[in-house]
């Protein structure tokens, strides 16, 4: 890890990706026997952990020759990966097209447009990512070989970015004393890559996924509408490897919002609602297993992306589709292969 990176002038904003701080939460964990620490991922250049992923995908594609000057970066997203794609694209000089559900926060839409990207909106919100991916396929078919799709839900580079970056950083910063790791599930890349590395270092480590109680996809095989933007997207991504998961911790949208507010007001960390999900889950895990000395989780992004949401007291109307949400047979079979502990 290049911890002295900021002591010198950098050649590109992309050199500032990663090596984020690991910060203890003494007030949030004051009533617990163990400690909770968070990786402060919003200090990445575009404001989220997705900078790690997009940088890895783009730079490897350039090395392979799959991505050449003059091509278009295309991605379907609920926000953070799209914004990271805009940042990387702007830095490297690529045109960017982002497809996102219209129900995501206004701040996400404005940020994407501020980077100069083209934004295509699809019906619904975070549980309607299937409609986003359908539109991505149409755009890809239209532009053909001109387009390179980031493909966060399927690319190995997503989890590799965390296996070679996030995981080793946590291990080094905690001096190998981390007893548990928790991460919410969007693409599954952060959980899988980080969990794989930490499990190799310490086979006894506990590894849990936090999930909205209203949409317990992994815990109960059910999809529902919730208020935690960016996770529980109504599918089980193929890069999510559940062999590393000991279990799932369910937290309600209200708990996630309340915990995110606590992080701002008690610890000075103004973060998004999915980060609240992670920390709320960490508290539940510590209460269930009080002998865990250090639980590490992620602050995924900045609260500035949520100013128009219930996190900041706004009750903006979101377009929620009246549709039936069900898991496919392949996903149901995938879940049946694992016996995950569920903590509620």
Parse the chain into domains and list their residue ranges: 6-43+165-343, 50-149
pLDDT tens for 174-199 read: 999 999 999 999 999 999 999 999 99
pLDDT for residue 327 is more than 90: no
pLDDT for residue 125 is more than 90: no
User: Does 234 or 70 have the greater pLDDT score?
Assistant: 70
User: Does 323 or 15 have the greater pLDDT score?
Assistant: 15
Burial group, residue 203, by CB count within 10 angstroms (0-12, 13-18, 19+): exposed
pLDDT tens for 81-109 read: 999 999 999 999 999 999 999 999 999 99
Q: What's the pLDDT at 318?
A: 58
Q: What's the pLDDT at 317?
A: 56
Q: Which two tokens stand for residue 60?
A: 């490897």
The answer to whether the Cα torsion of 141, 142, 146, 147 is positive or negative is negative
Q: What's the pLDDT at 328?
A: 82
Per-residue pLDDT band for 306 (boundaries 50, 70, 90) equals very high
Mean pLDDT of 39-51: 98
For residue 274, indicate whether it is catalytic. Answer: yes
pLDDT tens for 257-291 read: 999 999 999 999 999 999 999 999 999 999 999 99
Contact 98, 117 (CB under 8 A): yes
Q: What's the pLDDT at 320?
A: 59
Burial group, residue 272, by CB count within 10 angstroms (0-12, 13-18, 19+): buried
Q: What's the pLDDT at 139?
A: 98
Q: Which residues contact 4 (CB under 8 A, 6 or more apart)?
A: none
Q: What's the pLDDT at 316?
A: 59
Contact 23, 41 (CB under 8 A): no
- Choosing from 35, 39, 46, 50, the catalytic residue is 50
CA 246 vs CA 203, 206, 243, 342: distances in Å? 12, 6, 8, 9
pLDDT for residue 37 is more than 60: yes
- Choosing from 274, 275, 284, 286, the catalytic residue is 274
Q: What's the pLDDT at 341?
A: 97
What is the CATH architecture assignment of 6-43+165-343? 3-Layer(aba) Sandwich (3.40)
Question: How confident is the prediction for the chain on average, in pLDDT?
Answer: 95
For residue 140, indicate whether it is catalytic. Answer: no
Q: What's the pLDDT at 126?
A: 78
Q: Tell me which residue of 52, 40, 50, 49 sits closest to 14, measured CA to CA.
A: 52
Per-residue pLDDT band for 326 (boundaries 50, 70, 90) equals confident
pLDDT tens for 195-250 read: 999 999 999 999 999 999 999 999 999 998 888 988 887 889 899 999 999 999 99
Mean pLDDT of 56-78: 98
Mean pLDDT of 247-255: 98
Per-residue pLDDT band for 321 (boundaries 50, 70, 90) equals confident
CA distance 110 to 93: 20
Q: What's the pLDDT at 209?
A: 98
Q: Do domains 6-43+165-343 and 50-149 have the same CATH topology?
A: yes
pLDDT for residue 332 is more than 90: no
CATH, range 50-149: 3.40.50.1100
């Amino acid at each position: 890890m290049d911890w002295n990176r900021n002591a010198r002038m950098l050649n590109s904003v992309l050199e500032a990706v990663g090596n984020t701080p690991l910060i203890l939460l003494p007030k949030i964990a004051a009533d617990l026997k163990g400690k909770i620490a968070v990786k402060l991922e919003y200090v990445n250049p575009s404001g989220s952990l997705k900078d790690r992923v997009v940088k890895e995908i783009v730079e490897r594609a350039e090395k392979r020759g799959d991505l050449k000057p003059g091509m278009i970066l295309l991605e379907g997203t609920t926000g953070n990966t799209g914004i990271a794609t805009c940042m990387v694209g702007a830095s490297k000089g690529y045109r960017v097209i982002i497809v996102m559900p219209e129900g995501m926060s206004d701040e996400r839409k404005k940020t994407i447009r501020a980077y100069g990207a083209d934004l295509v909106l699809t019906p619904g919100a975070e549980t309607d990512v299937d409609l986003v991916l359908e539109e991505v396929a149409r755009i890809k078919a239209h532009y053909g070989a001109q387009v390179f799709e980031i493909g966060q839900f399927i690319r190995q580079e997503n989890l590799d970015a965390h296996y070679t970056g996030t995981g080793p950083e946590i291990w080094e910063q905690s001096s190998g004393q981390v007893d548990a790791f928790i991460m919410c599930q969007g693409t599954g890349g952060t959980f899988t890559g980080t969990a794989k590395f930490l499990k190799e270092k310490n086979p006894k480590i506990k590894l849990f996924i936090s999930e909205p109680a209203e949409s317990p996809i992994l815990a109960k095989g059910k999809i529902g509408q919730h208020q935690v933007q960016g996770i529980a997207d109504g599918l089980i991504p193929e890069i999510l490897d559940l062999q590393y998961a000991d279990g799932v911790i369910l937290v309600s949208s209200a708990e996630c919002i309340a915990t995110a507010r606590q992080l701002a007001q008690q610890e000075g960390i103004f973060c998004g609602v999915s980060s609240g999900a992670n920390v709320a889950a960490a508290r539940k895990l510590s209460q269930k297993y009080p002998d865990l000395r250090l639980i590490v989780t992620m602050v995924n992004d900045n609260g500035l992306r949520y100013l128009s949401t219930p996190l900041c007291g706004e009750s903006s109307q979101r377009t929620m589709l009246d549709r039936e949400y069900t898991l496919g047979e392949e996903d149901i079979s995938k879940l049946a292969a694992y016996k995950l502990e569920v903590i509620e």
